[in-house]
Amino acid sequence: MTKSSSSKKSLTRAKPATLATKLAVPPAKRAFVEDGDTRFAEVIALIEVARRRAHQAVNTELVAHYWELGEYISRKIASAEWGDGIVEELAADLARRYPGVRGYTRPNLFRMRQFYEAYRSNRKISPLVRQLPWTHHLIILSQAKPVDTREFYILTAIKERWPKRELERQIRSGAVLREARATKKVSPAVRQTHPTAIDEFKNVYNIEFLGLAAAHSEADLHDALLRNLGRFLTELGRDFCFVGSQYPVQVGGQDFVIDLVFFHRGIQCLVAFELKVDKFKPADLGQLSFYVEALDRDVKKVHERPTIGVLLCATKDDEVVEYALARTTSPTLVAEYQTFLPSKELLRAKLHELYSQLAPETERNGPRHHRPQAGRSTRSHRRSP
């Protein structure tokens, strides 16, 4: 929407009433059928999928609607036709017209203006804003101040499908500051057996939420991860599913245990995590490779792909890691964990990477329309956060 007249129409059309009707419907909730007739489980599943789609559609249209209102208010104030008092009168009038709809308060109308003005000149981000709920935008606008930082959290929240609480945690923990400059260190076998899997793993995993003491043992780290397993799964990334802790394998007449075992639905393989609270040592890879081989021989199912091993250590020398991985034939990689907030680096590089994954055409050509459009995604099975 580029003209004032068309913006004005958005206030007089029935769209707000339509939104009010939609918003009167409570968000989709899971229907628990444990005590119901199990014959209808598939029907319930179909209904739940439809409800989630409807809720996502409402979120998408609501954000686009708030963008339009924000544009209209911004134009009126910029041209000196309106002042703060007029916006307050508008809020009162809308409250009378649409009783029960809380989205048109004076503070929220000014947030719509802030939302529009924050991204109107950004040809790359404006087509993507509809992919996040309004509550996510409020969090980002209030807690992530620099423009580049806001871009990062919008793109990453879309890509990772963060719920509201996780988005707040990521901003508090400084996720934008965390990625290391070095290329991910993986063995040649990972690139050969899982060429698309490298993007599913990180150089650095941030586990500040564990509250570990500066001096902690492997047992402390392991126990804290189990107590906070849900948050650790979110940090790992979507598609990771927990399989077991202290996972037992038997080779010959000896028993061994693997610290943590996960399954990755996207790359269809087991993932073994070995925890080390010291600096990386090449000898650690031998133990991890042994566990990967044991899982492949005795645990992996026929239809699954080869297991990947992750050595998660407190710190690492990238050159030592590179040498250690160069000749190993086991699909393994080395990553660090951090229990504190690191310094800022590589934001621009991360933004470029996220744009290339989420909206390659938008990055090259810019949006065709002023109204924010739903951007492209690398995943087709997106759900509402």
At 192 the pLDDT is 85
Confidence of residue 34 (pLDDT cuts 50, 70, 90): very low
At 285 the pLDDT is 92
Which is more confidently placed, 344 or 320? 320
3-state SS track over the chain: CCCHHHHHHHHHCCHHHHHHHHHCCCCCCCCCCCCCCHHHHHHHHHHHHHHHHHHHHHHHHHHHHHHHHHHHHHHHHHCCCCCHHHHHHHHHHHHHHCCCCHHHCHHHHHHHHHHHHHHCCCCCCHHHHHHCCHHHHHHHHHHCCCHHHHHHHHHHHHHHCCCHHHHHHHHHHCHHHCCCCCCCCECHHHHHHCCCCHHHCCCEEECHHHCCCCCCCHHHHHHHHHHCHHHHHHHHCCCEEEEEEEEEEEECCEEEEEEEEEEECCCCEEEEEEEEEEECCCHHHHHHHHHHHHHHHHCCCCCCEEEEEEEEEEECCHHHHHHHHHCCCCCEEEEEEECCCCCCCCHHHHHHHHHHHHCHHHHHHCCCCCCCCCCCCCCCCCCCC
Sign of CA dihedral 257, 263, 267, 269: positive
At 295 the pLDDT is 96
Mean pLDDT of 26-54: 68
Please name which of 244, 234, 316 lies closest in space to residue 282, comparing C-alpha atoms: 316
pLDDT in tens, 52-83: 788 778 888 999 999 999 999 999 999 888 98
Say if residue 363's pLDDT is above 60: no
Beta pairing partners, 272: 261, 309
Confidence of residue 41 (pLDDT cuts 50, 70, 90): confident
Q: How far apart are the first and last CA of the chain?
A: 27
Report how far residue 15's alpha carbon sits from residue 98's, in angstroms, rounded to the nearest whole number: 12
Mean pLDDT of 312-341: 86
Which is more confidently placed, 271 or 357? 271
At 18 the pLDDT is 43
Tokens of 151: 């871009």
Confidence of residue 346 (pLDDT cuts 50, 70, 90): low
Report how far residue 84's alpha carbon sits from residue 90's, in angstroms, rounded to the nearest whole number: 10
Please name which of 186, 232, 189, 192 lies closest in space to residue 209, comparing C-alpha atoms: 232
Mean pLDDT of 211-226: 90
Report how far residue 228's alpha carbon sits from residue 26's, in angstroms, rounded to the nearest whole number: 30
- Comparing 62-71, 105-114, 331-340, the range with the smallest average pLDDT is 331-340
pLDDT in tens, 254-304: 999 999 999 999 999 999 999 999 889 999 999 999 999 999 999 999 999
At 8 the pLDDT is 38
Say if residue 248's pLDDT is above 80: yes
Whole-number average pLDDT of the chain? 79
Residue 14, judged by CB atoms within 10 A of its CB (0-12, 13-18, 19+), counts as exposed
At 379 the pLDDT is 38
pLDDT in tens, 119-153: 998 888 888 888 899 999 999 998 887 778 888 88
Tokens of 374: 């739903």
Which is more confidently placed, 22 or 173? 173
293 CB neighbour count, 10 Å cutoff: 17
At 25 the pLDDT is 42
Please name which of 291, 267, 201, 183 lies closest in space to residue 237, comparing C-alpha atoms: 201
Tokens of 44: 């319930």
Say if residue 178's pLDDT is above 60: no
Confidence of residue 345 (pLDDT cuts 50, 70, 90): low
Are 336 and 315 within 8 A, CB to CB? yes
Gyration radius from the chain CA atoms: 25
